[in-house]
A and B are shown apart, each in its own frame.
Chain A
Amino acid sequence: MGKRKEESAEEILGKVKIFPDVIAELAGLAALESYGVVRMVNPSWPAGIGQLFSRDKLRKGIKVAFSEDSKVKIELYIIIKYGVNLIEVAKNLIERVKYEVERHTQLEVEKVDVYVRGIKV
């Protein structure tokens, strides 16, 4: 992720700064409770290998970036349970993460991208 970025909730607030880590943590908590998602995976690994690792830290598998106008962009790299509707699980996850992050930070979540990197049988 290069240089550590930080973002202020509102220009004028000044003192309120929310680090991407915090947003990642919130997104991670929401993701782990999301139905159908069984794991987060490190995005840098090749697809499939994530299945070998089980105890990931929450922040793993989540990238957070801010756009020019302080909106949040989140990427989630996940493993989904075999036999569930992938698209629906991903859609639910996007909704849940957007809702939780916005609810806790008051920042606007512009985009949540979900990358399904594997399926757990």
Chain B
Amino acid sequence: MPFTIQPKDIILLIKGGFSNLKKHQSEIDRLNVFPVPDGDTGTNMVLTLQAILEEVDKANSADKASLINAIIFGALMGARGNSGVILSQIIKGFCDTFRQFDTINSHVLIDAFQNAVRVAYQAVRKPVEGTMLTVIRDAAIAVKNLKNQEVLIEKVFEVALKEARDSLLRTPDLLPVLKEAGVVDAGGFGLVAMVEGVLSTLKKEEIKVMSNLAIPKVLLQQKEESLEFLYCTEFVLKGEKLRRDDLEKKLENKGDSLMVVWGDESLRVHIHTNFPGDVLNLATSLGTLSQIRINNMQEQMEERKSKLVAQADSGVGIVAVANGEGIKEVLKSLGVQRIVEGGQTMNPSAQELLKEVEGCPSSEVIILPNNKNIILTAEQVKTLSPKKVYIIPTVNVPQAFSALVAFTPNRSFAENLKEMNEAISRVKVGEITRAVRDCEVNGEKVEQGKYLGIFNGEIVISGNSLIKVTSELLSKIVSDEDSLITFLFNDEVSDEEKKKIKGEAEKKFPQHEIEMYNGGQPLYQLIISVE
């Protein structure tokens, strides 16, 4: 249990760090997504340390000065890759401090940590946080607290290791590219592995905090699930003798989500692909192109995410009335902060709404009633609350979805209200429920239990088969101008029925995108939104 170490012990410690790093080499390689995802971080760090050890072997290890010089020289010359260069600076920082003392005690070691951070940060104009730089800095800050105590050398490394590990786990929060890939920083991981190796050597027993770092492995799997095709590519192709199936066949293997639709004497094409250039090349050989649009879907995804975050901070509270777990989830993911349980048969009271409005931290609150009977109740809240309360008169859940999508945080409140109100008028909604008693619809008798198709609040269709009623209801709602049909189903709809409904819709409206979600809403087997 050493209070001090001799300079020559440094070799032992580096060797300890090296061997543990080597154990994790390929794991670290796999984590490498930043700055360039070339999968060589572990290898580079190993090679850098190897070069140091080679240089040390050549030097006279009895002489402190030549030993330190050998380490610095080995680190400088042997530095490989970005992580290697940073590592070389960290090691240089340690050595510069060690050089000044005959023996190394905890005070010297703590100073050396600080110096390592100073030297490492000096070599970069704009340090990127969430990398090994962050990890070493956090570790250095943690050991600084031991400065006024007499502690063992190993205690310093223990504290450093714990903080380095915690810091490593935070790297995805600091560096978005890590989070997207679902990994922790590779260089930071390497650093943790080295400190762990050093501590194991000091304590002469194997330390394994890395085994607690199971996270990266789990995260690695997520990484593979990222977008397969990056670009959403759309264009209109005009020309003589164009054939839809011909073009479809040619584009089939270029990506997925392919749609080729006839417009007036032209073909409209939509495809998700990694090679928009190839697709466009192919298309130009058949005709002339117009209205080309290429979107990076990864960016779109991120934009959406950051929009949600910004929305949460934007100072506008959003309260919605809903029931059904699935629907609540979606509403929350779109920025609704508070949800009041309620719907068709259980209208919430003004007091219940008021409670949630008051519960929002912001002084401006938007209410989405999502039912025509609740709009009036919501209006009362305006007079009951000291806050500025606005009602977007949504009469169903899909309208709420559209309104929320239209909300942009950095726009003025008035503009947002206008956009949201416009958005709800654009979405068409159909609902399917069962007749609770015998009744008459459009002069026809409908028995209890039969399915009713509702559009614009009117019962437009009825029948015994959910699939048939859905299909006929869709015919009444969907037009060529629409592009998206969303089904929210509840637990009463069987998997078989879902499959058939989706299949029917796809057959009937091949040019529309079809999405299905479990809304979990009571009473309505299906809520259908068409945009």
A5: min CB distance to chain B, Å: 21
Q: List the B residue with the shortest CB-CB distance to A31.
A: B125
Fill in one digit per residue for A13-49: 1 if any B CB lies within 8 Å of its CB, else 0: 1011000000000000010111111110000000000
Given A15-B292, A96-B35: A84 and B79 interface contact (C-beta under 8 Å): yes
Query: Is the CB–CB distance between A88 and B125 below 8 Å?
Result: no
A101: min CB distance to chain B, Å: 12
A37 to B284, CA, bound (A): 44
Give the residue of A37, A95, A96 whose beta carbon is less than 8 angstroms from that of B124: A37
B191: chain A residues within 8 A (beta carbon): none
B241: min CB distance to chain A, Å: 20
Query: Is the CB–CB distance between A39 and B77 below 8 Å?
Result: no
A96 to B124, CA, bound (A): 14
Binds A, one of B81-89, B135-143, B265-273, B516-524: B81-89
A37 to B280, CA, bound (A): 39
Query: Is the CB–CB distance between A92 and B82 below 8 Å?
Result: yes
Fill in one digit per residue for A53-68: 1 if any B CB lies within 8 Å of its CB, else 0: 0000000000000000
Fill in one digit per residue for B247-281: 1 if any A CB lies within 8 Å of its CB, else 0: 00000000000000000000000000000110011
B280: chain A residues within 8 A (beta carbon): 10, 12-13
A16: chain B residues within 8 A (beta carbon): 294
A32: chain B residues within 8 A (beta carbon): 125-126
Q: List the A residue with the shortest CB-CB distance to B285.
A: A12
A100 to B277, CA, bound (A): 19
A96 to B88, CA, bound (A): 19
Give the residue of A12, A15, A39, A84 whose beta carbon is less than 8 angstroms from that of B85: A84
A39 to B119, CA, bound (A): 17
Give the residue of A12, A84, A96 whose beta carbon is less than 8 angstroms from that of B76: A84
Instruction: Let me know if B38 is at the binding interface, CB within 8 A.
Output: yes
A10 to B294, CA, bound (A): 13
Fill in one digit per residue for B281-304: 1 if any A CB lies within 8 Å of its CB, else 0: 100100001001010000000000
Query: Is the CB–CB distance between A38 and B76 below 8 Å?
Result: no
Query: Is the CB–CB distance between B281 and A84 below 8 Å?
Result: no
B281: chain A residues within 8 A (beta carbon): 10, 12
Q: List the A residue with the shortest CB-CB distance to B36.
A: A99
Query: Is the CB–CB distance between A92 and B277 below 8 Å?
Result: no
Q: List the B residue with the shortest CB-CB distance to A56.
A: B125
Given A32-B126, A35-B124, A38-B125: A84 and B35 interface contact (C-beta under 8 Å): no
Number of interface residues of B (CB under 8 A): 32
Give the residue of B84, B89, B124 whose beta carbon is less than 8 angstroms from that of A38: B124
Query: Is the CB–CB distance between B36 and A95 below 8 Å?
Result: yes
A113 to B41, CA, bound (A): 23
B84: chain A residues within 8 A (beta carbon): 85, 88
B119: chain A residues within 8 A (beta carbon): 83
A120: min CB distance to chain B, Å: 9
Query: Is the CB–CB distance between B92 and A89 below 8 Å?
Result: no
Instruction: Let me know if A73 is at the binding interface, CB within 8 A.
Output: no
Instruction: Pick the most buried of B81, B124, B294: most chain A CB atoms within 10 A of its CB.
Output: B124
Number of interface residues of A (CB under 8 A): 26
Instruction: Pick the most buried of A13, A30, A37, A83: most chain B CB atoms within 10 A of its CB.
Output: A83
A33 to B84, CA, bound (A): 16
A88: chain B residues within 8 A (beta carbon): 79-81, 84-85
Instruction: Let me know if B174 is at the binding interface, CB within 8 A.
Output: no
Query: Is the CB–CB distance between A106 and B277 below 8 Å?
Result: yes
Query: Is the CB–CB distance between A85 and B284 below 8 Å?
Result: no
A37 to B77, CA, bound (A): 17
Given A13-B280, A84-B79, A85-B79: A37 and B85 interface contact (C-beta under 8 Å): no
Query: Is the CB–CB distance between B82 and A33 below 8 Å?
Result: no
Query: Is the CB–CB distance between B128 and A92 below 8 Å?
Result: no
A29 to B399, CA, bound (A): 42
Query: Is the CB–CB distance between B76 and A83 below 8 Å?
Result: yes
A9: chain B residues within 8 A (beta carbon): 277
B80: chain A residues within 8 A (beta carbon): 88
Query: Is the CB–CB distance between A35 and B86 below 8 Å?
Result: yes
Query: Is the CB–CB distance between A34 and B35 below 8 Å?
Result: yes
Query: Is the CB–CB distance between A85 and B76 below 8 Å?
Result: yes
Instruction: Let me know if B6 is at the binding interface, CB within 8 A.
Output: no
Instruction: Let me know if B122 is at the binding interface, CB within 8 A.
Output: yes
Query: Is the CB–CB distance between A92 and B124 below 8 Å?
Result: no
Instruction: Let me know if B123 is at the binding interface, CB within 8 A.
Output: yes
A34: min CB distance to chain B, Å: 7
Fill in one digit per residue for A81-93: 1 if any B CB lies within 8 Å of its CB, else 0: 1011100110010
* A78-118 interface (Cβ within 8 A of B): 81, 83-85, 88-89, 92, 95-96, 99, 106
Query: Is the CB–CB distance between A34 and B284 below 8 Å?
Result: no
Query: Is the CB–CB distance between B124 and A36 below 8 Å?
Result: yes
Fill in one digit per residue for B334-372: 1 if any A CB lies within 8 Å of its CB, else 0: 000000000000000000000000000000000000000
Fill in one digit per residue for B7-51: 1 if any A CB lies within 8 Å of its CB, else 0: 000000000000000000000000000011110000000000000
A91: min CB distance to chain B, Å: 8
Q: Which 10 A-B pairs have the closest CB atoms?
A: A81-B123, A85-B79, A99-B36, A32-B126, A92-B82, A10-B277, A32-B125, A96-B35, A88-B79, A12-B284
The 24 listed contacts between A and B (C-beta, < 8 Å) are A33-B124, A33-B126, A34-B35, A34-B82, A35-B86, A35-B123, A36-B85, A37-B124, A39-B125, A81-B122, A81-B123, A81-B124, A83-B76, A83-B89, A83-B123, A84-B79, A85-B79, A85-B85, A85-B88, A88-B80, A88-B85, A89-B85, A92-B81, A96-B35
- Since A83-B92, A92-B81, A95-B36 are in contact, a sample of 14 more A-B pairs with Cβ atoms closer than 8 Å, ordered by chain A residue number, is A10-B277, A32-B126, A33-B126, A33-B127, A37-B125, A39-B125, A84-B88, A85-B79, A85-B85, A88-B81, A92-B35, A92-B82, A95-B38, A99-B35
A residues bordering B, Cβ < 8 Å? 9-10, 12-13, 15-16, 30, 32-39, 81, 83-85, 88-89, 92, 95-96, 99, 106
